[in-house]
Amino acid sequence: NNKELLTMKNQIHVLENKVNHRQMQGIIITTEGGKVIAIDGGRGENADYMIEYLKEITGQAIPVVDAWFLTHAHNDHLPAFFEIIQNRASEVVIGTIFYNLPSIQYYTRIPGEEDNDGAETTRKFFELLPIFADRVCLASGGDVYEIGDAKFEILYSAETDIETNICNNASLVFKMTLG
């Protein structure tokens, strides 16, 4: 029910993959003060659903996302954001983009621990960065950001000395307090 969704504030919406039911992560947070925050977004094929869901919960033809957090470079997290920023930018207004991705070389430096998925997704991020460079914020451990009624405390950002499960262990980790 659209009317019911519009009245939900200080809510966390965990999106499901409506396309093919493969693993993905896309989260939308709405605050009491009317702010909208996205986390990751899922695979490229999830972009349509993400946009439609944003329209539904905001009631806006062109939804405004005040902040978008990108956690790490696996292809079930960032490609929907890539699709939106590259090909659908006129359909969503995006404010600040928070991230902290390691270099492409990070993913291939340890024999046996290569993460080609992470390297390829990171390569795509840096390829597209000029499109949105004026909106980025490099988030680091210890930083605190307040977006309306949501407070994000950055607990951890990429450390290149970790040598196992390198893409997941390079995640941007935060604690969110909502309302």
Question: What DSSP string runs through 148-170?
Answer: TTEEEEEEE---TT--SSTTGGG
pLDDT confidence of residue 150: 95
Span 158-172, average pLDDT: 83
The answer, yes or no, to whether residue 27 has pLDDT greater than 80, is: yes
List residues bridging with 38 in a β-sheet.
28, 68
Of residues 33, 36, 84, the one with CA closest to residue 56: 36
Supply 41's token pair. 């977004």
Q: What is the mean pLDDT of residues 141-154?
A: 96
Structure confidence by residue, pLDDT tens digits, 44-62? 999 999 999 999 999 999 9
Higher-confidence position of 24 and 70: 70
Element (H, E) at 73: none
| Residue 5 reports pLDDT greater than 60 | no
- What is residue 1's predicted lDDT score, i.e. its pLDDT? 44
pLDDT band (50, 70, 90) for residue 28 = very high
Q: Which residue has the tokens 């980025």?
A: 136
Tell me what pLDDT residue 161 has: 79
Average pLDDT over residues 84-109: 93
Average pLDDT over every residue of 98-121: 85
> For 68-72, 107-111, 118-122, 137-141, which range has the lowest pLDDT when averaged over its residues?
107-111
The confidence band for 8, taking pLDDT boundaries of 50, 70 and 90, is low
Where does the pLDDT of residue 169 fall: very low under 50, low under 70, confident under 90, or very high at 90 and above?
confident
pTM of the model: 0.91
- pLDDT mean over 62-81: 95
Average of per-residue pLDDT across 82-100 = 97
| H-state helical runs in 29-179 | 47-58, 79-87, 116-132
Residue whose C-alpha is closest to residue 41's, from 79, 13, 10, 5: 79
